[in-house]
Structure 1
Amino acid sequence: MKVLIVEDESRIAKRIERMTQDIFGNDLQSLTLANTLQQALKFLENNPLDLVLLDLNLNGENGFDLLKTAVSGSFDTIVISAYKDQAITAFEYGVLDFVPKPFNQARLEQAFKRSTYKESTESIKTKFLAIRKRQRIQLLPIEDLLYIKGAGVYAELFLTDGSKELHDKSLEKLEHLLSHSFERIHKSYLVRMSAIKEIRVESGSKYIAKLDNGEQLPIGRTKYKDLKAKWL
């Protein structure tokens, strides 16, 4: 794991650092501290990461300015903040968890488990995906998203208006964030359940999901029975 801690209070930053080291142990490859937005943004531009731990108030600067950039990246973001009233907004932006201050190691470990896919995130209701477009960050409403196709370490987002966008997160990471309304129907596809109009079997034992817009997507053999049960 490669982790970045963005926290302006030295005492809290060191506490998070110590707990992170205790929780990940030998799985922790690198751990970096940043105490300003500018320092964090510069580090994000030049270094691959697995996880960002972000405070929302950094010497008076708004952590949401960094959050838009962070949640568009290939890594997961966990907010650690005393501003509990901002939790819903943070989740809507696509953070993996919101850990309120004060916190203990058990609560932080629970958040880390979400990052390593050991704990369900069914209760998280992401409302936006942040995407990089023309050198800027744009918030894409989840309601405009029809299905997602895996493209290696990236993912292609297919929208209800027929357009397509590229996201820096992998299909697996997006599946984790969107589990409340999307279903993995194939190793390469994640689909909004409400958009499926018909599920059928074709010759050669090919399983197909027909969407409301007429598009047809493959269903994996191992996914068919479970998908049909959920769809019905």
Structure 2
Amino acid sequence: MIRAIIVDDEPINISNLRALLMRHCEGIDVVATATGADEAREHIIELKPDVVFLDIEMPGKNGFDLLRSLNDTDFDVVFVTAYDTYGIMAIKFSALDYLLKPINITELKNTVNRIEQSVNTRKQNSRLNNLLNLLDRKSPDESQKIALPTQKETYLVPVKDIVRCESSNNYTTFYLTNGAEHLISKPLYEYDELLSPYGFIRCHQSHLVNKAHVASILNEDSGYLVMNYISQKIPISRQRKSTIKSLFKI
């Protein structure tokens, strides 16, 4: 059984989630609940759970404050929240699980399945640290790392080392400065939203490029971006041609 703790300042939310887990997720055993960060911290230290279902917005110390207060985060975290702003962007950036209230049962089941897979192959510590570092920054920083979860391993890659991203249906391939390629089972639009503050440009429906790694612009057809490190030219769609020109002040 996977040992779980639920943390939420609203007892009704705790009861609802607990009931959903009991009804739909047989492999989860809720060993404790807490309505505040300090109480949750005591339970986590004492009971050493496999997963914590954690609300973000709570009076006093919030969910992120709780995580910062722990010396050891050797457990999975699923954020359960209605906080659909920068916090969720940071969580996505770190490839951590979250559930938006009201909880969708299918999404809950999928999350529990991922937890079961993760228990024996812990990648959570570095991903949580990445999340907290990101939240502490006031502005985009290219040294920030993004978590790229492949089928076999989750890679933490500095944003500055990403040359470009290319979509294929619901998959995205990341091309890095060292020649590595990582295939991720997420659509390109999710990374467009995450990476645009770091200077990435959607030059085509299927292509997202790091402006810092553009070597030149070819005037053939509707135009192409030639990238450093990769001897490929990336097409510019006709709809985005004027936007690209204005970005490079052409």
TM-score under structure 2 length normalisation: 0.51
Distance 1:161 1:17 in 2: 49
Q: Which runs of 5+ in 1 are unaligned?
A: 1-5, 19-31, 42-51, 79-86, 101-121
Q: Share of identical aligned residues, percent?
A: 19
Q: Which residue of the partner structure matches residue 192 of structure 1?
A: 210
Paired residue for 2:50? 38
Q: CA deviation at 1:220?
A: 0.5
Q: Which runs of 5+ in 2 are unaligned?
A: 17-24, 34-43, 57-62, 79-89, 101-127
Structure-2 change in CA distance of 1:159 and 1:17 (3 Å): farther
Using a 3 Å threshold, how does the CA distance of structure 1 residues 39 and 66 change in structure 2: closer, same or farther?
closer
Could you tell me whether the CA contact under 8 Å between 2:164 and 2:209 is conserved in 1?
yes
- Alignment partners' CA distance in 2, 1:173 and 1:217: 20
Larger radius of gyration: 2
- Over aligned residues, Cα RMSD in angstroms? 4.4
CA distance in 2, matches of 1:221, 1:138: 34
2:59 matched to which residue of 1? none
More strand by share: 1
Aligned runs of 1:172-183 on 2, under 5 Å? Answer: 172-180=189-197, 181-183=199-201
Q: Name the SS of the counterpart of 1:162 in structure 2.
A: coil
Separation (CA, whole Å) in 2 of partners of 1:221 and 1:17: 53
Higher helix share: 2
Aligned partners of 2:196 and 2:244: how far apart in 1? Answer: 13
| 1:216 CA displacement | 0.7
Shift of 1:151: 1.9
Alignment of structure 1 residues 127-142 onto 2, 5 Å: 127-133=144-150, 135-142=152-159
TM-score of the pair, normalised by structure 1: 0.54
Give the aligned residue type for 1:186. H
User: What does 1:41-60 align with in structure 2 at a 5 Å threshold?
Assistant: 55-56=63-64, 57=66
* Alignment-derived partner of residue 167 in structure 1: 184
Q: Structure 2 counterpart of 1:171, which letter?
A: L
Report what 2:118 is aligned to.
Answer: none
Task: Report deviation, 1:223.
Answer: 0.7
Q: 8 Å contact 1:193–1:231 — kept in the other structure?
A: no
Letter of the 1:157 partner, please give it. F
